[in-house]
A and B are shown apart, each in its own frame.
Chain A
Amino acid sequence: MSILERYVQSTESQIPTVSHHGEIPSGMPTCSIEIDGQEVTAAIGESILRAAQRAGFDVPTLCDDEKLAPAAACRMCLVEIEGYDRPMPSCHLPVTPGMKIKATGDGLFAKRRQNLEYILSDHNAYCMPPCQIGCPTHIDIPGFLELEAKGQHLEAARLLKETLPFPYALGLVCPAPCQEVCRRGLVEEEIAIRQCHGYFGELSLEMDKAPTPFPQAAATGKRVAVIGAGPSGMTCAYYSSLKGHQVTVFDMMPKQGGMLRYGIPEYRLPKVKLDKELNCVWQLGAEFKGGMMLGRDFSIDDLFAQGYDAVFLGIGAWRSNELRIPGEDLPGVIEAINYLNQNARGDPVPVGKGSKVVVIGGGFTTFDCSRTSRRLGADVTVVYRRSRKEMGAHYSEVDDAEHEGIRLEFFAAPVKIVEKDGRVGGVEFQRMALGEPDASGRRRPVPIEGSNFVIECDTVIPAIGQVPDLDWYGASPGLRKTRRETIVANGALMTDRPGVFAGGDCQMGAVTVIQSVAQGKLAAKAIDRYLSGADMAEVAAEITEEESVPELIDIVPYKPEEPQVRMPFLPFDQRVQSFQLIESGYAKQQAEKEAGRCLQCVCPDVGRCHLQRLSLEHGLTENRFHRAEPVDYHDYEYDFSHDFILRDLNKCINCTQCVRICRDVIGANCYGLMGVGYDSIVTTPWNVSLQYTDCVSCGACAETCPTGALMMRERDLETWELDITRCIYCGDCVEVCPHAALGETPNFELSVYQRFGTTVLAKEELAVARTWKPSEHIPLDGEDRRGVRPPEVRPPAPPRWGE
């Protein structure tokens, strides 16, 4: 072996296999093999994997590319072959006649799954954002947090308003289902998402005109009536107005806000600021008609008669459920919603200093009532029939209530209200134990005989849920209601009567504010489609599809720990007897710092990522390698400096496909493995920016990458014209272009022949000259010494000149 021979690397260091797309070409010698008991015809010399794939067997693989020599690195395609004592990689072994192969089976499945678990335990990237999926209105949380961290506040506010028109109000009252599923919680503590969007809401309040997600559409001339100025109605009005429809909002109350104003107490949501925030709806041209009650002042038919094209019912759930126990009609039993309502309006309420109040229930209303009573100076006990865990209210609110001096009593259900001097003197309770789970998944309480006890009080507030007030229903033909007193609507939120939509509490039963907002948003979309004459069955199917919950896989995240930025709170001792707002909001630096903690659980490769697909197929919904020491994980810097290719080493699974394609097919040889042992990683020489390598920006590596470790930056493709007067015929462009984009142009072919000077061809000779493919090195002496070359990227382009 000569020195030259030794130091010029051979390109194929693995067994070359024959690969064919689709059918075996006629004339290829074939043989018969057996895969999972099924007879399969395979071309002799091709890999087992290829034969199995052609026959329709789903053999998983993460490092196989038809263009490349196999690496057998990912170990996903291992199959059991008769005659081998252990599983062998099917991408690597050529077919031999009569082979008996087992490509599926529980043992293989379990081991492949283990393999994926390993990969996901060192795949420091997070696929899909659980927060966005968990949020009922699907706020682009990673998106606005990224903008927030960068200080682009106006853009962040705009992005928020795409799905959430009232970030300030929700920033205070939302139970934040997003935070419960936040992946940062697997590192140390979730992101304070709610507080972060509250910060933007507050910023928007200070502006003369609130930012809109997109410019308001031109007026369509259609009119939409929204009944109910609560969260769902106002959201529907906001997005309908943005679409250019003329919206009128009716409400039975004199002022806007619905439950936000009349249900949620001042200490959770200051009404002055709520009004400022809701103004964004009126700024878009919508109109408010207060004191108009459906059924009393107008009917749905009236609205259509007045020329409205669509109606949205967002009337909420304002009627408290009854306890259905003796003594409920005694003086001193207060209806929860009415009580909050009176307090919000500043009317006198029957609770004051020295009152002894019992609030029954475990939901948000329960705690609004009890904490309000506490602030009015009462001595308050909350009684719930299940445990703290089952409470419908957010755990933070339960904790806060306890800290404010409210007693909590669990596992007790009311039996009767005790009379004393003609009014309430106490409530008799019975102890409960938890039995089997019921339909809602919560364990059903079972009474314990003979365990009755009495809590003395002068006021009882039953807060065990609300239902919509549907007294007007009889006069509205075409609507249906459920047994739970809610309005029936389809997937597009349209009721049985065309043009009438329903959403929020009145359609779902009492739910959270954010769920109502989500319904308002969907209703606005459906109404817009309805007004443009779309088929509503299609719209319903579309919305159902959009709202379906995608599956998540469990990836072990690793980032250095950094605690949550705490929101400043009003001290507990100042809360009693004061309706002052508890949360004072983030300052700019705090908001930016907190947003910077976001793991950015988004990957542009979602849906195309083979690792994601295989992990879903193998049911990787949990991973056993979370939360160990930092040395167990990797946190690499990403390299987004290249003009066309984005590199994120955190997503690399060391399949070496990019190494092989760049070396063997493209010839640029930009990638290789660096580091030792577990810390080995595929990267550029000395881990420099890809910009400083021999990269020709062909994108073959990004195309072949099974994950999102290498991705093409979005780019606008343009056609470039050659300025022949400036070309010096260097041929560099032709030589480096791996897609033969330049090699096909006659002028450039001319430059190839000019460059080496040995053959100056006449015009007619040029017409028949062969086209050199870019992966071939053009011989200096004109002799074709190509020998064995790497597989071709694409078939050679036919000469197109001389026509």
Chain B
Amino acid sequence: MPTSAAFRLLGADATGSRERALALSADDTIALIEGSELRGRGGAGFPLGAKMRATRTAAEVSGDPAYVVANAYDADPASPLSRTLLERSPELVLGGIVIAARAVGAREAWLYLHPEATAARSAAEKAIAAVARHDDGVSVEIALGPGGFMGGEESALLAVLENKRAMARQRPPWPAEQGVRLRPTLVSSAETLAALPLIVRDGPDSFSGSGGSRGTKLVSVTGAVAEPGVYEVSLGTTLGEVVQTAGGVTHALKAIHVGGPTCGILNSTRTGVRYDYEDLKAAGTYMGSGQVRAIAEGTCIVAEAARLFEYLSKETCAICVPCRVGTKRVRGILESISSGLGREDDLKWLGELADHLSDFSLCGFGITSASIVRTTIAEFPDDYRAHIVERRCPEGTCAPSRSRRYETMAQP
């Protein structure tokens, strides 16, 4: 594992960062963050400095007040990164919120939490009380999401803050220009903001790593590993090493599911892929929710993909057609294949539907979910072939879940 002794989030001490931050002007703060090349930890990896500058500029141009939203929602239930962070170092998150708010010129900020994250909430409340005591010109409020996967999506979260159903909204315009109540809003994950106090105190160079991506990332290692849990790894660590961090696999490894429910599944030969934004994208998946799941031998990948789409078709916000109907139809086809009703041309069809999902969906939910179809077909062709051609489950685990499949029945 590459050394990252210089920078750790979990358990870090933020002492002195507030004083240092108060001494900096807004422009200097943003320049500092741009210098650190800190990228968003929510999965998309947008540079935070640029986002802050855009928010600040939009607020200055429009004259509207700006807002800051720290997204600590943890949409993926198996990846409680922000909760862990808030429970262990709430002052880092709150410190980051205050620094960001001062830098973009916001006087109000929200800490956006999952309604079930009670421990994180009480930890955050204490930290907010401390912020209120200091009175640095920023008031932080806790906002609770609605539950469910889509509640954590960047733009759906804006809708929730406007007391609406958690539904995605088309971007551009980005929240930096038109966010909550159409005002400039900095939306960033709690984990990203938590890095700010340390960067401000220790300088951008303390935040070092490898390649284009820098710093550390919290990951939730789950599945067939000895000690599942939340770990902090340097960006650029290989997937094999990430799995090793959690005590290594308990069974022979068949696949690694990187990024949570909307992201792709890689096969066991891909342990050398580095855990980084660009490398994961090149491998066909995304950083997503920060989950790394080890899938043991004996798991049918077709059933796994079907199970993921079953989850997605229940969690889609239903604003756009490709996502609402598409996830359902892809699920139906995958279930048909796993039930022994597959046909040769189903794979081509799935490919078409995946292209449609990624090209025509409104938000990242639909766009990234296409990667499940693409990676499983590309990385596990044998599983599909066994189901479709040989009419058997490669692992012997699939029980038929449906007796009928989609049929073309032309109208007279």
Contacts and interface: CB of A to CB of B under 8 A. Distances in A.
Interface of A: 1, 6-7, 9-10, 12-15, 70-75, 78, 86-87, 89, 92-93, 111, 114-115, 118-119, 121-122, 130, 134, 180-181, 183, 186, 552-554, 621-629, 632, 653-654, 656, 672-673, 675-678, 680
Contacts of B182: 10, 12-13, 15
A678 B164 contact: no
Interface in B68-113: 108
A114 B407 contact: no
- Most B-side CB within 10 Å, residue of A13, A118, A677: A677
- Most A-side CB within 10 Å, residue of B162, B316, B360, B404: B360
B396 interface: no
A653 B319 CA distance: 10
A89 B316 contact: no
A121 B324 CA distance: 12
Contacts of A653: 321
A629 B335 CA distance: 11
A111 B409 contact: no
B356 A111 contact: yes
A554 B182 CA distance: 41
Contacts of B164: 9, 13
B14 interface: no
Interface stretch (B33-41, B53-61, B325-333, B385-393): B325-333
B281 interface: no
B327 A678 contact: yes
Q: What are the 9 A-B residue pairs with the smallest beta carbon separation, nearest first?
A: A680-B318, A181-B412, A118-B325, A72-B170, A677-B314, A678-B328, A626-B409, A554-B411, A622-B410
B163 A115 contact: no
Interface residues of B, number: 57
Interface of B: 108, 148, 158-159, 162-165, 167, 169-170, 172-173, 178, 181-182, 312-322, 324-329, 332, 336, 349, 352-353, 355-356, 358-362, 367, 402-412
A677 B170 contact: no
Given A10-B181, A678-B316, 20 more contacts: A9-B164, A13-B164, A72-B320, A73-B362, A74-B320, A78-B360, A111-B356, A118-B322, A121-B329, A554-B409, A554-B410, A622-B409, A624-B408, A627-B406, A632-B328, A654-B319, A654-B321, A677-B313, A678-B328, A680-B324
A181 B317 CA distance: 37
Given A73-B321, A121-B329, A677-B314, A15 B409 contact: no
Nearest to B170: A72
Nearest to B171: A92
B321 A75 contact: yes
Given A72-B170, A78-B360, A628-B332, A678 B406 contact: no
Contacts of B352: 114
B58 to A, nearest CB: 13
Contacts of B316: 677-678, 680
B321 A134 contact: no
A676 B332 CA distance: 18
Contact of B167 (A622, A629, A673): A673
B317 to A, nearest CB: 8
A622 B349 contact: no
A92 B319 CA distance: 14
- Most A-side CB within 10 Å, residue of B313, B355, B411: B411
A313 B84 CA distance: 91
Q: Is the interface of A mostly helix, strand, loop or mixed?
A: loop
A672 B318 CA distance: 12
A486 B412 CA distance: 30
Contact of A632 (B178, B332, B356, B359): B332
A621 B321 contact: no
Contact of B359 (A86, A93, A654): A86
B406 A75 contact: no
Contacts of B312: 677
B408 A678 contact: no
A13 B159 contact: yes
Contacts of B359: 78, 86-87, 111
Contacts of A134: 412
A481 to B, nearest CB: 34
B165 A673 contact: yes
19 contacts: A9-B163, A13-B182, A14-B170, A15-B178, A72-B319, A73-B362, A74-B320, A75-B361, A86-B359, A86-B367, A186-B409, A554-B409, A554-B411, A622-B408, A625-B406, A628-B406, A629-B402, A677-B324, A680-B318
A637 to B, nearest CB: 19
Contacts of B329: 118, 121, 625, 632
A14 B360 CA distance: 19
Given A93-B172, A677-B324, A626 B163 contact: no
Given A93-B172, A629-B404, A678-B325, A9 B162 contact: yes
A1 B161 CA distance: 12
A74 B409 CA distance: 25
B325 A73 contact: no
Contact of B360 (A1, A70, A87): A87
B322 to A, nearest CB: 6
Contacts of B314: 676-678
B324 A628 contact: no
A626 B412 CA distance: 14
A14 B169 contact: yes
Contacts of B402: 628-629
Contacts of A675: 318
Nearest to B361: A75
A9 B182 CA distance: 12
B156 to A, nearest CB: 12
B28 to A, nearest CB: 28
- Most A-side CB within 10 Å, residue of B159, B320, B412: B412
A163 B169 CA distance: 52
A676 B358 CA distance: 21
A87 B367 CA distance: 12
Contacts of B165: 672-673
Nearest to A680: B318
Contacts of B360: 75, 78, 87, 111, 114-115
B130 to A, nearest CB: 22
Nearest to B167: A673
B321 A627 contact: no
A621 B410 contact: yes
A656 B362 CA distance: 15
A110 B312 CA distance: 24
B319 A71 contact: yes
Contacts of B169: 13-14
B322 A115 contact: yes
A653 B356 CA distance: 18
B139 to A, nearest CB: 10
A621 B411 contact: yes
A552 B411 contact: yes
A78 B313 CA distance: 23
A114 B412 contact: no
A74 B325 CA distance: 11
- Most A-side CB within 10 Å, residue of B163, B327, B403: B163
Nearest to B405: A628
Given A13-B162, A75-B362, A119 B325 contact: yes
Contact of A114 (B353, B358, B404): B353
Contact of B412 (A72, A122, A180, A625): A180
A78 B167 CA distance: 19
A1 B107 CA distance: 10
B159 to A, nearest CB: 7
A254 B370 CA distance: 76
Nearest to A625: B406
A624 B350 CA distance: 12
Contacts of B178: 15
A114 B352 CA distance: 9
